[in-house]
Structure formats: structure tokens, C-alpha cells
């Protein structure tokens, strides 16, 4: 298997359509994807949480879940060593690292509680993104947080949001790389509500209060994430798509589209160009919805390629902040990360290797037959040869060979965790 020879042949084939494989590789190596820490421990965090709440669920009990900051960091290192490129890590407030005896609750978390993460990122040249955690907490048990009618509870969560803005600012400043702080709340009702307006009005007020915090926009970018329904909260979601679309547009923050948060035949790929026309930047949670679940491991499927194509065709690799968001506890968790991250990169490479200008020209000229033929034939072009070459060039294992490394780590480390 001569990777370079195969690459050279692929290069010639793509060149026939004016596609420069070298340029594609160059652009791909600039991409950084935010790898979500919560795949490593089934969204448990370090606060001693008893279970996961907020209408999301991690199912499965594959051995080896990371239980401490050190274990999670080690596992993330293992995953990152098998993924080509330099990426970001995505943390939740529930991954705070507090000293023994420290009783700090979410409303008063401080930058110091994330210093070990900042040190971790510094040593590895990574950036960090951040999320306030509006679930898995006694005050979120009702399924309501920022839209809660009880003023004290609502205030607690507003204070959590504010504390997280300061933490995000600290992270961005320390790493000298802007931190994306994404706000997602589970708020909703299991059954048909009597009043759909007031909870949204309270959410709007809460978000405005959070954003009134004094924070440095050079270091923090805020996004808001909508959802269609949660488990146990099936009938009404306070933070719906329309709510956040308008909220983001009027407040100058970003929309975050989670690919698992829409109706079954509704895709986020189609929304990307529309949002980019009206907003400078856009954030994504890439995941895979399967029936009731919005959080399966990202596969190289049609929609993933469509998402990548829209980002590339809009020339927006630097305007779309890509993050992954899923949690599968039924398989090796490190493999889950590696599969998703590599697939996201593969999808982008696939999109970068398409003759996008030529295809757009066919569309403009009404040459729909040619457009279809070429798009279909391109599906079996040797994109895998370019991918292998890219992996070799960046020093990560080729093809499925990375699994041997994970398997060894599994035997020596994960299975010994008890």
C-alpha cells in the first residue's frame, strides 16, 4: 500500500476538474473542531452528580468511564493523538475542579475552578470552549431554569450564567484564543402548556440579564442553542428555534445549530447559508439524531457531508465554529470521540475536494443533468487516498489502525478502572 503513489494518482484525477488537492489539504489543516469533554464520562462531570437530567440521556455501561479530571484528561489526550489537526476542547461548568471541602455552587463558580483545564490546554496549545450547565442540579429538577417562575430559582441560574461569562473571559484571556460560550437550557413542559408566552418572556429577560455582565468580547463569543424537544419535556420547549434566531439577531450573539435538535426530516445544512447571510458567524453542534435521541456518534453520512459542503461552498471555514455533541456510553468512549472527529474532518475534506465552482456554474446555467452526473460520479472518486495521505502527513494512524492503539489503552488503562 503505497500512500504517496495513490495520492499522486488521486491528485491527477481531481486536477481534471480544476481541484487542487494540495490546497484542500492546506485548508483542512487550518480547521479546528471543538471536541466535547462530556463524551468521556457520559456527561457526569465532577460535582458528584447522581444522574443526568435536563431531557438528555446517555445509555450503556461500557467499562472505563473517566471518573476524575486526570482520567478525563488522559483519555482526551489519547483521542487527540489519533485525530489529525490541532483542535479545541469543549467544557461544561459541571467539570469544575474544586478543592476538597470547597462548597461552591454553580452560581458562584470562579475562574480558579478551571485553572487545571487552562494549564492542560496551554501545555498542548489547545483552545477551550465553555458551557454553563443548566441541568443535573437540584434547582433544575423541575425542568425549568432561566424561565422558572420562581424568582429565586431563576436568579440562581442567571447568576450561574454570569459566573460562566467571567470564566469564559478568563479562559479566552489566558489562552489568548476566543472562547465560545454556548447557552443551552432544557426548559420545557411534558404536556401541552397553558401559557407559551410567559416562559419565553422570562427566558428573554434572564438572557438579557446574563449578557449585561461586563465581559470582553475579544475573548468571549456567546451563542444560544435551540431544541425541539427533550425526554420528559416533549410538548413544549421554551428555547425554540424561532426564539433564539430572533434573540441572537437582535442581541448580536451567535446562533448555535445542533444537528439533532430539529424535526426528523429537517436538516441544519440547509440553514447554514441562510444564517451566514445575516450573521457574521455561526456555531454548530454536530451530532446524529436517531428517533428519540439527538446524540449518537457522528458518522460519515449524507447530512454530515451536506453540512461540510455548505460550510465550504459558503467559503466559511473561518466563520462557522464547529463543535461535536454526542454521548454514547455503550462503546469505547475514546473510539466514539475519534470516529466523530475524524468523520467531521473527512466530511470537510470531501467537500474541499469537490469542483464547487463548476457545479455551481452548471446550476446557474440550468445544466441539471450534468450537475447530477458529476455529483454522483464524484462520490466514488478516490477521496480516501487523499485522506490517508493527510493522516500520514499529520502523523496520525492510517485508516482503522488507530483502533489498535485504543485497544491497548483499553486493556492497560480503561479496563483497570473498576
**Residues at the site binding Zn ion, with contacts judged by CB under 5 A:** 258, 285, 325
Say whether 225 is catalytic: yes
Of the residues 113, 160, 261, 346, only one is catalytic, namely: 261
Say whether 117 is catalytic: no
Give me the catalytic one of 117, 157, 184, 387.
184
Catalytic residue status for 258: yes
Examine the residue annotation and report whether 137 is marked as an active-site residue of this protein: no
**56 binds, options Zn ion, ligand RNT, none, Cβ within 5 to 8 A by partner type:** ligand RNT
The CB-nearest residue to ligand RNT is 184
Catalytic residue, from 41, 187, 325, 388: name it: 325
- Yes or no: say if 241 and 226 are a contact pair by the CB < 8 Å rule: yes
Give whichever of 221 and 294 is closer to ligand RNT, judged by the CB atom: 294
Q: Catalytic annotation on 387?
A: no
Q: Annotated catalytic, 325?
A: yes
* Cβ-based nearer residue to Zn ion, 120 or 326: 326
Query: Considering the rule CB under 6 A, would residue 38 count as an interface residue with ligand RNT?
Result: yes
Whether residue 385 lies in the annotated active site: no
Q: Give the nearest distance from C-beta 325 to ligand RNT in angstroms.
A: 5
129 makes contact with ligand RNT (CB under 6 A): no
Residues 326-355 that bind ligand RNT (CB under 6 A): none
CB–CB of 65/413 below 8 Å?
no
Q: Is 285 in the site for ligand RNT (CB under 6 A)?
A: yes
CB of 186 to ligand RNT, least distance (A): 7
Q: How far apart are CA 275 and CA 192, in angstroms?
A: 30
CB of 353 to ligand RNT, least distance (A): 30
- Chosen from Zn ion, ligand RNT, none, partner binding at 227 (C-beta under 5 to 8 Å by type): ligand RNT
Residues in contact with ligand RNT, shown as a per-residue x/- string from 234 to 273 under the rule CB under 6 A: ------------------------x---------------
184 among known catalytic residues: yes
CB of 368 to ligand RNT, least distance (A): 37
Residue 294 interaction partner, one of ligand RNT, Zn ion, none, beta carbon < 5-8 Å per kind: ligand RNT
56 counts as binding ligand RNT under rule CB under 6 A = yes
How far apart are CB 410 and ligand RNT at their closest, in Å?
24
HEC-encoded secondary structure of the chain? CCHHHHHHHHHHHHHCCCCCHHHHHHHHHHCCCEEEHHHHCCCCCCCCCCCCCCCCCCCCCCCCCCCCHHHHHHHHHHHHCCCCCCCEEEEEHHHCCCCCCCCCCHHHCCHHHHHHHHHHHHHHCCEEEEECCCCCCHHHCCCCCCCCCCHHHHHHHHHHHHHHHHHHHHHHHHHCCCEEEEECCCCEECCCCCCCHHHHHHHHHHHHHHHCCCCCCCCEEEEEECCCCECCECCEECCCHHHHHHHHHHHCCEEEEECCCCCCCCCCCCHHHHHHHHCCCEEEEECEEECCEEEECCCCCHHHHHHHHHHHHCCCCCCEEEEECCCCCCCCHHHHHHHHHHHHHHHHHHHHCCCHHHHHHHHHCCCHHHHHHHHHHHCCCCHHHHHHHHHHHHCCCCHHHHHHHHHHHHHHCHHHCC
Question: Which spans of this chain sit near ligand RNT (rule: CB under 6 A)?
Answer: 38, 43, 56, 131, 184, 225, 227, 258, 285, 294, 325
Write out the catalytic residue numbers.
Answer: 184, 225, 227, 258, 261, 285, 293, 295, 325
Amino acid at each position: 500500500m503505497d500512500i504517496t503513489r495513490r495520492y499522486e494518482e488521486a491528485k491527477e484525477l481531481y486536477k481534471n476538474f480544476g481541484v487542487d488537492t494540495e490546497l484542500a489539504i492546506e485548508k483542512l489543516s487550518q480547521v479546528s473542531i471543538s471536541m466535547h469533554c462530556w463524551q468521556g464520562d457520559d456527561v457526569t462531570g465532577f460535582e458528584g452528580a447522581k444522574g443526568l437530567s435536563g431531557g438528555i440521556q446517555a445509555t450503556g455501561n461500557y467499562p472505563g468511564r473517566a471518573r476524575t479530571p486526570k482520567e478525563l484528561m488522559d483519555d482526551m489526550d489519547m483521542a487527540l493523538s489519533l485525530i489529525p489537526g490541532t483542535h479545541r476542547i469543549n467544557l461544561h461548568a459541571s467539570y469544575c475542579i474544586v478543592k476538597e471541602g470547597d462548597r461552591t455552587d454553580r452560581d458562584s463558580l470562579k475562574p480558579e475552578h478551571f485553572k487545571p483545564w487552562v494549564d492542560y490546554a496551554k501545555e498542548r496549545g489547545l483552545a477551550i470552549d465553555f458551557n454553563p450547565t443548566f441541568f443535573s442540579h437540584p434547582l433544575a429538577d423541575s425542568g425549568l431554569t432561566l424561565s422558572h417562575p420562581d424568582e429565586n430559582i431563576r436568579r440562581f441560574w442567571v447568576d450561574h450564567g454570569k459566573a460562566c461569562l467571567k470564566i469564559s473571559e478568563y479562559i479566552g484571556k489566558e489562552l489568548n484564543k476566543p472562547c465560545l460560550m454556548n447557552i443551552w437550557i432544557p426548559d420545557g413542559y411534558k404536556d401541552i402548556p397553558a401559557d407559551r408566552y410567559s416562559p419565553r418572556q422570562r427566558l428573554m429577560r434572564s438572557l438579557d440579564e446574563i449578557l449585561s455582565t461586563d465581559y470582553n468580547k475579544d475573548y468571549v463569543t456567546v451563542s444560544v442553542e435551540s431544541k425541539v424537544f427533550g425526554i420528559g419535556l416533549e410538548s413544549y420547549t421554551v428555547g425554540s428555534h424561532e426564539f433564539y434566531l430572533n434573540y441572537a439577531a437582535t442581541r448580536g450573539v451567535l446562533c448555535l445549530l445542533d444537528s439533532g435538535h430539529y424535526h426528523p426530516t429537517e436538516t441544519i445544512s440547509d440553514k447554514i447559508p441562510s444564517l451566514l447571510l445575516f450573521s457574521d458567524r455561526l456555531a454548530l453542534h454536530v451530532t446524529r439524531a436517531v428517533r428519540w435521541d439527538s446524540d449518537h456518534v457522528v458518522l460519515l453520512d449524507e447530512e454530515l457531508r451536506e453540512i461540510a459542503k455548505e460550510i465550504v461552498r459558503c467559503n466559511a471555514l473561518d466563520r462557522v465554529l464547529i463543535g461535536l455533541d454526542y454521548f454514547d456510553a455503550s462503546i469505547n468512549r475514546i473510539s466514539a470521540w475519534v470516529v466523530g472527529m475524524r468523520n467531521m474532518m473527512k466530511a470537510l475534506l470531501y467537500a474541499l475536494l469537490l469542483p464547487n465552482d463548476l457545479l455551481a456554474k452548471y446550476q446557474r446555467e440550468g445544466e441539471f443533468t450534468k450537475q447530477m452526473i458529476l455529483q454522483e460520479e464524484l462520490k466514488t472518486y478516490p477521496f480516501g487516498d487523499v485522506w490517508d495521505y493527510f493522516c500520514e502527513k499529520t502523523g496520525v494512524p492510517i485508516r482503522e489502525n488507530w483502533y489498535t492503539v485504543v485497544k491497548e489503552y483499553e486493556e492497560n488503562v480503561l479496563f483497570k478502572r473498576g
